[in-house]
Structure 1
Amino acid sequence: MNTATLTWTVVCPLSRLDPGRGVAALIDDVQVAVFRTADDLFAIDNWDPVAHAYVLSRGIVGSRGGVPTVASPLHKQVYDLRTGDCLDLPGTAVRRHEVRCQDGLVEVRLR
């Protein structure tokens, strides 16, 4: 079994994440985009499968029909932060990762 799936990695203190913005983190050679919304934390791959670039952490955080989303900064496809599914292109998705806050620190576990 891959040990990365068992390990939580500290990304940053929660206070360093601004609500409505994303940050990029490198975890075990995987670029991850971490987002803080008004209500929750989310982590997805930073790779935009449409633009073929590591840019999702720079996307526009919002919502569509109550679903927390991020829009790619390049081609504006919108991804569901809960599932990683692209809401504009069925069948397109990014990998979602587990994220939590422990003792004021944001931690991510790769899937």
Structure 2
Amino acid sequence: MVQALVRETSKTWVDICSIEAISPNTGVCALVEGQQVAIFKVGNQDEVFAISNYDPFSKAFVLSRGIIGDRKGILKVASPIYKQNFNLLTGQCLDDETVSIPTYQVRVVEGRVQVSV
């Protein structure tokens, strides 16, 4: 886990890892200010998304190990346990509209992935 912080306009950005450390179309888990965050790199570019690592259906911290894909053009991750799908942009469950998970701001700066919670 990374402890380096970058301050910017009242936001705290936590440096996680280099963008190259995340293989295309996979996720990693990071502890950010006490919260497990699943960070996904989509494709071979520097497009990243950050959502809670907690799967509310299995009650386990496993979403970073999920499978990235899309449903009707919506980027999503499928939980590795019961296979519910979560929108990577909004955290909304695509299989049960009453369930959503937190999303986090994420960016790539000089090749480094940073998350703000």
Please give the per-residue CA displacement for 1:9-45, whole angstroms capped at 9, x wherever unaligned: 0110001011110000001110000000025210000
Higher relative contact order (CA 8 A, sep 6+): 1
Paired residue for 1:46? 53
Pair 1:75 & 2:79 matched = no
Cα offset, 1:71, TM superposition: 0.2
Matched letter for residue 50 of structure 1 = F
1:31 aligns with 2:40: no
How far off its partner does 1:63 sit?
0.6
CA-atom RMSD, angstroms?
1.4
Q: Which moved more, 1:33-42 or 1:65-74?
A: 33-42
Unaligned runs of 5+ in 1: none
Q: How far is the alpha carbon of 1:91 from its aligned partner? A: 1.3
Which contiguous aligned blocks of 4+ residues in structure 1 show a shift greater than 6 angstroms?
none
Structure 2 counterpart of 1:108, which letter?
A: V
* 1:106 paired residue number: 113
Q: Structure 1: which amino acid aligns with 2:100?
A: A
TM-score if structure 2 supplies the norm length?
0.88
Name the count of aligned residue pairs. 107
After superposition, give the CA deviation of every residue in 1:77-102 in whole Å (9 maximum; x if it has no partner): 00000100000011101100000000
CA drift of 1:49 comes to 0.7
For 1:15, which of 20, 24, 30 is the aligned residue?
Answer: 20
Which structure features the higher share of strand residues?
A: 2
Please tell me whether residue 61 in structure 1 is matched to residue 101 in structure 2: no
Structure 2 letter corresponding to 1:85 = Q
Q: Give the letter aligned to residue 21 of structure 1.
A: T
Aligned letter for 1:93? Answer: S
